[in-house]
Amino acid sequence: MSDLPAWLEGEWRAWGVRLPESEHRTWAAVLERGNRLVRAEGGRLVAGLAAVPGVLTVPGAELPTSILASAWVEPTHRRRGLLRGLMREYLDGLHADGVAVAVLQPAESGIYRPFGYGMAFEVVTARLPARAAGFNGAGGVSLASWPEARTAMVAGYARARDTYPGMLSRDAAWWDYSYHRAAELPIFIALHAGGFAAYSVEQRWRDGSPEDVVTIHELVAEDPDAYASLWRHCLDLDLAGRVVAYCRPREEPLLHLLADPRRLRQRPVDGLHLRVVDVVAALSSRRYLPGDALVLEVEDEFCAWNQGRYRVSEDGCQAADEAADLDLDAGALGSVYLGGVSFDSLWRAGRVRECRPGAVKRADWFFAWSPRPWLSWSY
């Protein structure tokens, strides 16, 4: 554990960006409740890693997890194995503490695959013209500021999190950090009995005509009426030219509401990355669709304790000595764990080996879940 101001100073040096005061204060509050690892040289921190505890919704259950919030190395000390050493210490500690899975949202998606993380699902950036037609909302939307809307947003998010694998718990510190700029942007909150939308508006003009950009930071809806009403509100704002929404589900229902679905442009990007720390505990914690048991041969160079063969059934997971149905590495196992990435796509990419004919198709049925995984907010 390091002194937090020194840790933050090292993080700023690594990224070359000093946070505004509001972000500095709320980010420090997030990290304060977690665990920080460091590497020092000459009395100065040159690398650091911070993780905070959370709860992850998995298919049919909730699971305590560790969220890797930040990892950095000073530019003068890169390519020396410092990050690898921090990850070694971090994952060893999680294993000793009995944590089954770890998650993160990387700034650069390729960094953590060597450590056994796999992309657990995709999210999309959605763009479409304002006032896109084809559906009407049922109304019932009211506007509120961030502080007064907080209680309703927390409750709505918690209800949604019960449903969607991939969603993470948020404590007060996470909420404060997520909306620390609510007054500066400003962020408007549209409230509905079945959900909420948080958005900001950037004023733009072209040839004397308004073309404001509406950015939807978060839209959470529990039912179709709330979903349509909140989207309709954001699309119909006066002076708006286009609407951009980040971190939306890969299967965005809006596509099926629009009169012209081609108006909706979606750019996929990797969402949550997941690391299975303990195969037996992780695979025993989630639920599966009815089906025959599967035997998985797991290869895990970075966390050798996971190396082995496991039988997965509706009753859980245990070590096995029978012939394997599928052979996959730890990153691939992390990818399929939430049901957001198919065994078939990984098999076609050469990341999964089918040891018995038909095992890939059977595994996709067994691991599938509805609704599909989704992460509401990109931290």
Query: Cα separation of 172 and 377, whole Å?
Result: 15
CA atoms within a 13 Å half-sphere pointing along the CA-CB vector of 187: 21
Residues 6+ apart with CB under 8 A from 317: 279, 280, 282, 283, 284, 310, 311
Average pLDDT over every residue of 254-277: 95
Q: Is 124-269 CATH 3.40.50.1370?
A: no
The answer, yes or no, to whether the previous bond of 253 is cis (omega within 30 of 0) is: no
* Side chain identity at residue 143, one-letter code: L
Do 284-367 and 124-269 have the same topology in CATH? no
pLDDT digits (tens, 9 = 90+) for 13-37: 999 988 888 889 999 999 999 999 9
Structural contact between residues 360 and 326, judged by C-beta atoms closer than 8 angstroms: yes
| In the chain, domain spans | 4-99, 124-269, 284-367
H helix or E strand, kind and range, residue 137: none
**Token digits for 284?**
């025993």
pLDDT digits (tens, 9 = 90+) for 107-152: 888 899 999 999 999 999 999 999 998 999 888 999 999 999 999 9
Query: Cα separation of 54 and 184, whole Å?
Result: 28
Q: Is 284-367 CATH 3.40.50.1360?
A: no
Average pLDDT over every residue of 63-76: 96
Query: Cα separation of 278 and 93, whole Å?
Result: 12
Question: Residue 217, Cβ neighbours under 10 Å: how many?
Answer: 23
Q: How confident is the model at residue 263 (pLDDT cuts 50, 70, 90)?
A: very high
Structural contact between residues 367 and 336, judged by C-beta atoms closer than 8 angstroms: yes
Q: How confident is the model at residue 199 (pLDDT cuts 50, 70, 90)?
A: very high
Out of 3.40.47.10, 3.40.630.30, 3.90.650.10, 3.40.50.1980, select the CATH number for domain 4-99.
3.40.630.30
